[in-house]
Every structure is written in C-alpha cells, then in structure tokens.
A and B are shown apart, each in its own frame.
Chain A
C-alpha cells in the first residue's frame, strides 16, 4: 500500500516508541536463582535435622519414642534393600492418581454446571463449598460399612475429598473472568459454545489449575486417612497401611519413615507436576510478576 512508504517518518516514530515502551525482561543468572530459590529450603531442612538430632542426643523423649534421623533413614534404607519401598509408594501414588483423575472427570462438568446454571448454583453451590471444608476422613467409617474393606471404600473417600475442591476451583475461576473478556469475545462472535470454548474456559484456567492443585492435596490427604483406617490383607499395602502397621508393631523409626514418605510424595508431586504447569500458564499470561 502506497501510504506505508509515503510516510516513513510516522513508521520510524512508531518503531521508536515501540522500542522505548515495550516492557523488557532480564533473565537472572543460574547462580542467583540457586542462591535465592534453592538455598533457603535446603537450609530449613538442615536446621530441622540438626534440632531433631539434638533432641535425640539430649533424650527429650526416650529413644524408643524418638529415634534419631539415622534410625529413620535406616528404616527407609531397609525397605529399599528389601525391594518393597517403591511398591508401597506406587500402591499409594497409583491410587491417588486414579482417584484424582476420576475427581477431575466428575468435578469439571460439575463446576461448569454450578458456575453457568443459576438454579444449579443456588441448589448445590453452598453444599459444594460446605463439603470442601469437611474433613473427608469423616466419610471413612460410613464408606467401610457401605463398600466393605476394599478399593471402593478408598476411592469413594478420595472422590468425596477432591471433587468439591476441583469443582469449586473451576467455579471461582469462572467467576473471576473479567466481564470485559466476555464482551470482547461476543463482539468478535464468540457466543454460546464458541464463547465457552474460546473465551470462558481459557480465561478461567488459572483458577481451575489452583483448584486442581488443591484437589490433588485433598486426594492425597483423603487417601492417607482411608489407608490408615482401612487396613486389610485384601488391600495392597500403601504408605498409610505402612504407617499403621509400623504403629501396631511399636516400630517408631518405621512410623516416622512412613510419615516422611507421605510428606515427600505429596510435596514431590506438587513440585514436579502442578508447579511447572501452573507457572507456565501464569508466565505466558504475564501474571508471574517479578518471578522467573
């Protein structure tokens, strides 16, 4: 087009403005990231271990009640040598993952319904929020009576724990979508299902992801509660059963080892699965202010 060349002064002016005003981002060197992000948690863990060792050394509790960090490590190491450690972890993680995925499949359409259909929201919105604050361990006795001591009980408890928080996450994600996006979407023709697919759901994604993360935490918690209470030879041994077995054997290093394993797996999955996805989504939208 002719006028594009006819007015080089405006094009140049605009290019200059763009260069001056576009936000710039600098990447921090790896060393700085390590120092700022990795060092503090490592130091905190080291401090806890030191305090623990001191408590053991000065016998704050008798040794059979408070074993040393080395004893607990020895317990984990023995399970590793016996080849049973990964089996315990896998039993729990596969249950947790399966229960979580089922919760996603149920919780997502449920959240969409509650968010978009006013009568549904009025009817079950408050119940859903209420369920979220209810400890799902309370369902375990009822579930055992209904389903018996088997996997159904465990999955029922996991679902009751995770579905509400996933659904609620989606609801609050949708509620927080700026109305401007919906208006802009409608003006370019994103109405009805197109609007849901191209505007509403992507806009609600950060809230939904937060709900998923919380849903996983609830799955894991509920699973452990169920595994501790519902122990039976028919059920495979997961970390919860490991903990309960160690307690009945008065094996305190085993109890602490199981607790630490439960903690580690829970944190590990959040750090390895949810954190990277969440950061990616937030960063691509420029919502991760100052972080890299």
Chain B
C-alpha cells in the first residue's frame, strides 16, 4: 500500500466503507465426496466502527467464520476482505502466554507489528490503563483472575492496532458478575477506540446488550437466517426491559431454527 500507516481511525479513510466484507463465503471440511458444509453463502458487511453480534446455536459455524475472517483458515468459496489489515482476535480462553508477564504479552503484539523498542513499554502501559489494569504490568498470567486475564487479552488485541476486533465468545467462561462488568468495559472501549467489532456468542441477551446489529445464523450449514438492528441507546444494561423484549423475540426465532433439526 502506498499510504503510510498511521494510527488514525478508519472512518477518516473515506475510500473504504467497510471494516470487513464477506462475499458469499462458504466453507466445507472433509475429503471430497464426504464433505460437510459448515458455512453456506455468508454475505455480510461490517461498517467501520460498527458492533456486530453473530448469534447461533451449536454447529452454526460461528467460530469457523471468525477463523476465516482472521485469516487462520481459507474459505472454500467466496471472498473476504479486511482492508484494515490483519484483524485482532480474542478467544473464549484468554490465550495469554504464561511465560510472559501481562505487560510483556501486550508488548509482544506491539513488537510483532513493528513498534520500536523504546516506545513499547509506555504503549503497553497505556493499553493496560485503557482496560483498567494499571498496576498489572509485571503480573504473571496465573496471578490474575479470569476477568483480569480477559482484559489483558483485550489489551493485547488492541495492541495490534487493527481496525477490526474479532471476539469468539470471549466472556463465556466468566461468572455472571464479571461478565456484566466486562460488557460495560467493552462498550466503553469500543466507544473510545472506534474499533469495529465482530462478536460471536450463543447468548442472546449478550448479543442484544452489546451489538448495534444482531445476526442470527442457522445451523448445519450456517446461513444468515435473520438480522436485527438494535436501536436501544447505549449505555444499555442486560436487565433493561427493551433488551429483554428483543431477546425474547430473537430467542423464539433461534428456537425455531433449532427445532428444524429435530424434525428429520
């Protein structure tokens, strides 16, 4: 690319109207002849700065889809574009490296993206401060609680300075109280950084709590079944009646999708 890489939010880059574009993406696994189709014709744009939740039951290929967008795997058909460079990816497990301190984990991501040595420490501390872990720079991973680990993982993901953050059920393994707090944190950080988020979950309320758009995938193969725009203003809470009402509607639809699989 000819344009110099700067830390500007992608919105100012008027030439690209999307942070990710999926064009009829399909994915099959297995040998030819005995193939299993996991994703079928997924077409989806994530706008710059948008927060999109992908919702689905088991077997809808949510994680496969994120792997494809992250570039860890190739689609069998269709195209994926992420003009903002390699997307950052967060997993359900924190996936932090236990041989490094929290701060060094963040610095490794900075280093691999070419941030000069002299700037890394300060940059990493700034990111840890953003996830409100100011004093955790020198802490080992096992010295942190589950919620703190996920926040360090978030700081590491943000260290990639990618315009697209992919999240694969990042809060599923946390207790309800911590998850609730991290929802609030993520909303705040998303608003502060203008990053686009593609968030995968099987938790309907979580999707409605967080997303500007909720996309329901059917299972086996994963197809886009329906889409909702969530215009409940942030900050939302998971207990809000508007969140609950929409969740009921989406859950009905989701159950309908699941029921189809019991009929044959």
Contact = CB atoms under 8 A, between A and B. Distances in A.
Interface of A: 1, 3-4, 7, 10-11, 13-15, 17-18, 20-23, 25, 180-181, 183-184, 186-190, 194, 198-199, 202-203, 205, 281, 284-287
A17 B181 contact: yes
Contacts of A7: 188
B144 interface: yes
B9 to A, nearest CB: 14
A187 B109 CA distance: 9
Interface of B: 70, 72, 86-89, 91, 93, 95-100, 108-109, 112-113, 130, 132-133, 140-148, 156, 159-160, 177-178, 181, 184-185, 188, 191-192
Contact of A3 (B70, B99, B146, B191): B191
A198 to B, nearest CB: 6
Given A22-B144, A23-B143, A181 B178 contact: no
A39 B252 CA distance: 66
Contacts of A190: 108, 112
B129 to A, nearest CB: 8
B185 A10 contact: yes
B185 A187 contact: no
Given A10-B184, A22-B143, A189 B113 contact: yes
A3 B143 contact: no
B159 to A, nearest CB: 8
A39 B198 CA distance: 58
25 contacts: A3-B188, A10-B185, A14-B132, A14-B181, A15-B132, A17-B178, A18-B147, A18-B148, A21-B146, A22-B144, A22-B148, A23-B142, A181-B97, A184-B96, A187-B87, A188-B112, A189-B86, A198-B108, A198-B112, A202-B99, A203-B99, A284-B98, A285-B98, A286-B98, A286-B142
Nearest to A20: B145
Contact of A14 (B96, B156, B159, B185): B185
